Structure 1
Amino acid sequence: MERPSQEPVASAMERTVQPSERHAELALREAAVLMAPIARWLLRHGVPYNAFADMLKSVFVSAAREELELGGARPTHSALSVLSGVHRKDVRNLETSPEPPAAPRSVSLASQVFTRWITDPKYRSAHGKPRRLLRSGADNSFESLARAVSSDVHPRTVLDELLRLGLARLDGDDVVPTRASFVPSRQLDELTALFSSNVSDHIAAAVHNLTVEAPKYLEQSVFADGLTPESIDRLHLCARSAWDSAFASIVGEARERVDADADTESDVRMRFGVYFYSEPVKRPPEASRTTKPTTSAPAPRGKRSRSTHEK
């Protein structure tokens, strides 16, 4: 069956951008915007910057390998190092030992201290539960626990972070754990995997549209500001209703296509998704705003508002 002309074809790709200082500047500028919610997600899960940076080495090397192979080049250690920017020694180590780093390197110090607290028999009661600890002291105190894990950060700083995360509370001179385990539930595991798949495919579609000379994937949005919470709630309900309709339509069509393609050897996957998000607009103080000329008519009563459909 002939492939529709509007469908993106991965095998006939031509780049629309070439590496340059200007393209790198643009990509890094917008990558900071993309990474802000990812950084928030990582921090809320106890992942510090150094662990994320270590993990990114393997991600960059893997992406560099795919880029070299797409271009017909041999992905040698030197070629991978030049393209990815990862040191050749690190590339070689990743190729020979691709296992992820040990757990202590992949979690924050506060998480390490809490894990030690709930697992080390020294800090557990006869019933196997983590004990309340004196805030300070030479032995069997929160101070000694924190210093046993790391002497680089003051125990008070670690305690403040555990209090902020809700993993501990103060009761007079004692520090009391608020939970006896620190293991993500199966449901959270599944939701996290679904989140990464959804967001990854969304970004992959946008990257394709920005960098490849080929038919574009659907990747559009409607956005507006100057709204009240009541209007946000109404728009959210409208978006959910639109998704219900689209979901039923796409699922029905997908089932038909799966049945029609059952006897073929092709194995191409797809994903169709939708999202809705709202938050207060963060505007700079009036005194620090830079006035720029505009051809747009001013909003009434000095209130700025915008509603745009991305093409």
Structure 2
Amino acid sequence: MSETVPSPPPDAARLQAPVARLLRPLVRLFVRSGITFPALADLLRELYVNVAEYDFALPGKEQTDSRVSLLTGIHRKEVRRLRGAGAPVSAVPAAVSRTSRIIARWLAAPEFTQADGRPRALPRAGEAEPSFEGLVASVTRDLRPRAVLDEWLDRGLVTVDAQERIVLAEAAFVPKGGGTQQLYYFGRNLHDHIAASVANILEEKPRFLERAVHYDGLSPDLARRLEARAREIAMAALQQANREAHAACETDPGGEARWNFGIYVYAEDAPRPEPTA
């Protein structure tokens, strides 16, 4: 019985153009944020050594400085200095973890949602009906609901309506620019999207769903209307996926696996491509 031989990865020359396009918005962010090229080069050097050391180790063999140097093109002296730092840590900040868990439950649990799936406006406290205090307590007993409410009001994640009920604000779905929560998901979501794309390139058959609907040459008005409609479709899909995942987790024994379902919408005023002769 013959074995399927994986397709070879694309050569470096063919990767240059797509990688340059991928990195361009990141470089714009780096320049705006003060990450200089030497600082980025230092970071990339550490990552090259780390990836070669941990992701390209041969089974049953100790990874050597020479092999890491061969794989990365980094001098052995530098390899020796940088090795052993351990794999990059992707810890979830405590504030991000607790906020996302409480909001996810508010959006998914039947007792905290309306018939159409939207989050209910919750009274601060009460036992006769679902309340904000009950929501927080259903996720964690380590935090005082009043402390969570004060923090969320300060961050604009919730508002208080005329009936003194707590209302989930749009800011809960779109974190403030440059805040801890947004930067965490910036790294997590882009990592997972790129990791899925890389896996699809390196494996014989695409493993992950990664598709996009795109149209060029549109009027700015149509692009804005399509962007608005895409937001509606995307939010409905995310909320449905969240409800089903939340329900499934109620009976799941738990483990080390994780799952991410992401959607992005993008539009820009791009110049028309020059016609070819």
Q: TM-score under structure 2 normalisation?
A: 0.60
Q: Of the candidates 13, 16, 27, which is equivalent to residue 25 of structure 1?
A: 13
Task: Provide the rounded CA distance (Å) in 1 between the counterparts of 2:61 and 2:213.
Answer: 41
Does residue 1:280 correspond to 2:269, yes or no? yes
Q: Report if aligned partners of 1:80, 1:91 keep a CA contact under 8 Å in 2.
A: yes
2:44 to 37, 46, 56: 56
Distance 1:15 1:188, change over 3 A: farther
Structure 1 position 278, deviation (Å) = 1.4
**Relative contact order: is structure 1 or structure 2 higher (C-alpha 8 Å, sep ≥ 6)?**
1
3-state SS in 1 of match to 2:14:
helix
The alpha-carbon distance between structure 1 residues 15 and 90, as it changes in their structure 2 partners (threshold 3 A), is farther
> Kindly tell me: are residues 226 and 15 of structure 1, through their superposed partners in 2, closer, same or farther at Cα, counting changes over 3 Å?
same
After the TM superposition, which residues 129-144 of structure 1 pair with which residues of structure 2 at under 5 Å, given as runs? none
Structure-to-structure mapping, 1:154-173, within 5 angstroms: none
Is 1:198–2:210 an aligned residue pair? no
* Equivalent residues in 2 for 1:82-231, closer than 5 Å: 82-95=70-83, 188-214=179-205, 216-231=207-222
- Match of residue 247 from structure 2: 256
CA distance in 1, matches of 2:19, 2:177: 31
**1:24-81, Cα deviation, whole Å (9 max, x unpaired):** 1112221111110110011110111111011101111122123323766532111111
Residue 231 (structure 2) pairs with residue 267 (structure 1):
no
Matched residue, 2:112: none
Where structure 2 has 5 or more consecutive residues not aligned to the other structure, the ranges are 89-175
Query: Structure 1's 14 and 243: CA in aligned 2 closer, same or farther, altered over 3 A?
Result: farther
Closer/same/farther in 2, CA of residues 42 and 15 from structure 1, 3 Å limit: farther
- TM-score (normalised: structure 1): 0.54
The residue type paired with residue 253 of structure 1 is E
Q: Tell me how far apart the structure 2 counterparts of residues 42 and 70 of structure 1 sit (CA, whole Å).
A: 35
What secondary structure is seen at the aligned counterpart in 2 of 1:65? helix
Determine the structure 2 residue equivalent to 1:297.
none
Does the alignment pair 1:69 with 2:57?
Answer: yes
Equivalent residue, structure 1, for 2:23: 35
Q: How many residues are treated as equivalent by the alignment?
A: 186
CA distance in 2, matches of 1:15, 1:62: 25
**Residue of structure 2 equivalent to 1:236:** 227
Q: Which secondary structure does the structure 1 equivalent of 2:215 belong to?
A: strand
| Identity in percent | 34
Question: Residue 135 of structure 2 aligns with which residue?
Answer: none
Q: Within 2, Cα distance between the matches of 1:209 and 1:55?
A: 26
Q: Is the 8 A contact 2:49 2:79 kept in 1?
A: yes
State the Cα RMSD in Å: 2.7
The runs of 4+ residues in structure 1 deviating greater than 6 Å are none
CA 257–227 in structure 1, closer or farther in 2 if over 3 Å, else same: same
